[in-house]
Amino acid sequence: MTPHAISSMVLAMATRLKHPIDSDADLLPMIEAASRNDDGAAAREHLAAGFPIYYSEDDTPAGAVIKEYPDGRRELVHFDREGEHRFQAAA
């Protein structure tokens, strides 16, 4: 088999294993739905491992999420097709 044939076969298998996500899909409702069933254990583990977490609270502005760092520092951020953008430091 040529490298191209192997690459094509792997791509075909991958697309059968995982449904592609519509690039125009709004991920926020999906993330919010998943967070309603969360007890916080995964977030605590993520912070303990040195990684920031993202979440919202009742008073978080529309279109923004809170990014909390392991040291407790928090920022308001939003996402678009170009990535993450900081609004301001959160209290």
pLDDT in tens, 42-80: 889 989 999 999 988 889 988 898 999 999 999 999 888
CA–CA separation, 53 and 30 (whole Å): 16
User: Rg for the chain (alpha carbons), in Å?
Assistant: 18
Does pTM top 0.75 for this prediction?
no
CA–CA separation, 64 and 89 (whole Å): 12
Domain count, the chain: 1
Range of the domain at 59: 23-89
The reply to whether 16 falls in a domain is no
Structure token pair of residue 6: 């192997």
The reply to whether 54 falls in a domain is yes
Those residues whose C-beta lies under 8 Å from the C-beta of residue 24, and which sit 6 or more positions away, are none
Exposure b/e, 70-86, CB count within 10 A at least 16 = b: eeeebbbbeeeeeeeee
The reply to whether 47 falls in a domain is yes
Structure token pair of residue 57: 């609270």
The reply to whether 2 falls in a domain is no
pLDDT in tens, 13-44: 555 555 556 666 677 787 777 777 778 888 89
The reply to whether 79 falls in a domain is yes
